[in-house]
Structures are given as C-alpha cells and as structure tokens.
C-alpha cells in the first residue's frame, strides 16, 4: 500500500489487537465484528431471547437517539442493568453500533468474515503440516488465483451508472473507478448523506 495506512479496520475485538491497532494505525477507525460480538453474546447472556434485539442494534442503521431508546428498552425488558458484559459492550458502542460509526467507510462490510473466508481459502492450499518450500509454492498458487479473480471482476464488473442523487458528477466519477458492488455501497452512503 506504499506506506498508506488503512482508514478502517474490522477485528474480533481482541484486547491485544485493539491496543496494537491504536498504536500502529492511530488514525484508522476500528470496528468490532458483529458476528464475533453476537457469538460472545450467546456465551455471556443466559437468556437467548435477547439475541434478536441485540442483533438488530448491531446490524440495523438507526439514529443515535433511536439506538439509545431501543438499548434502554432491551435492558429494562430483560432486567440486564447489572450484566457486566452487556455494560462493557455498551461502553464500546462507538466501535460496533451502526448508529455510532456513521460517517466511517467500511464498504458495507460489518464482519471480519471476509478475513475468515481468506483463511478458509488459503487452507485449501496449505495446512499445518506443509513445509516451508511447499508453503511458498502453494501460497503463490493461491495468490495467482486471487489476482485472476480480481482481474476478472475488474473486467466484467463495471457498468452504466444510474444516478440517484443530486451529486451527479460525484456518482459518475465513482462509477468509473469502482466495481458495481463497491459503487452501490458508496451510493447508499451518499444517499444517506
């Protein structure tokens, strides 16, 4: 990336990783993965009836005031005022709540699952018993596949832009440099703006 730091990072919320990101990428917006948070909720909350309410707060875009109202309703409905894990989650809401991370670009990604998918794909080429020479060779094959897929997407994934906001020139410009999938994510953010 020629020394350019990422503007956004999504992780599972590991404390050591949080500290490292804060130190190495101080200007990056760090978001916690919704999938990991929901999984942690399943182990920290005895009443599983709360999960649909929590998922909505993690995945649906609300205004901050709406989020606060729904959070308070959830806490009082299930009697969770003294739940330590939930209180810590609330304190960190600016790292996971769509209502509080508005304005930061994540290209529609809410979970670190794309990274998990990368690990899964690399696992098709190598495993823990792969020696170093074979690892380099297999990893190169894996990268070649990724590069091919990227070229394929770049070639086939551009189309005519349908302008939907008053920012015609910005949308057309974005449509020329972004793939359709990224353009639709950008356009969605632009419409909300």
Give ∠ CA 124-130-134 in degrees, rounded to 5: 90
pLDDT value of position 70: 93
Domain locations along the chain: 8-95, 124-156
pLDDT value of position 2: 73
Tokens 């209180």 correspond to 87
Whole-structure pTM value: 0.56
Predicted confidence pLDDT, tens digits, the chain (193 residues)? 677 888 888 888 888 988 999 999 998 888 888 878 888 888 888 888 888 888 888 888 788 899 999 999 999 999 989 999 999 999 999 888 888 877 776 666 655 555 566 667 788 888 888 999 999 999 899 888 888 877 776 666 555 677 788 888 888 888 878 877 788 888 888 888 8
Picking from 37, 45, 42, the residue whose alpha carbon sits closest to that of residue 13 is 37
pLDDT value of position 155: 62
At 10, phi and psi to the nearest 5? -120, 125
Cα–Cα distance for residue pair 71/58, rounded to 1 Å: 11
pLDDT value of position 167: 84
pLDDT value of position 71: 94
């Amino acid at each position: 990336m020629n020394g350019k730091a990422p503007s956004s990072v999504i992780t599972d919320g590991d404390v050591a990783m949080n500290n490292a990101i804060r130190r190495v990428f101080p200007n990056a917006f760090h978001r916690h993965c919704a999938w990991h948070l929901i999984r942690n909720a399943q182990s920290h909350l005895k009443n599983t009836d709360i999960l649909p309410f929590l998922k909505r707060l993690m995945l649906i875009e609300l205004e901050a005031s709406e989020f606060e109202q729904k959070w308070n309703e959830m806490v009082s409905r299930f009697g969770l005022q003294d739940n330590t894990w939930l209180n810590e989650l609330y304190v960190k809401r600016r790292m996971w709540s769509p209502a509080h991370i508005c304005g930061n670009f994540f290209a529609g990604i809410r979970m670190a699952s794309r990274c998990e998918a990368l690990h899964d794909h690399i696992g098709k080429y190598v495993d823990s018993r792969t020696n170093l020479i074979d690892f380099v060779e297999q990893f190169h094959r894996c990268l070649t596949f990724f590069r091919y897929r990227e070229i394929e997407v770049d070639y086939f994934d551009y189309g005519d832009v349908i302008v939907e906001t008053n920012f015609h020139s910005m949308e057309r410009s974005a449509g020329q440099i972004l793939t359709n999938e990224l353009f639709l994510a950008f356009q969605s953010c632009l419409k909300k703006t």
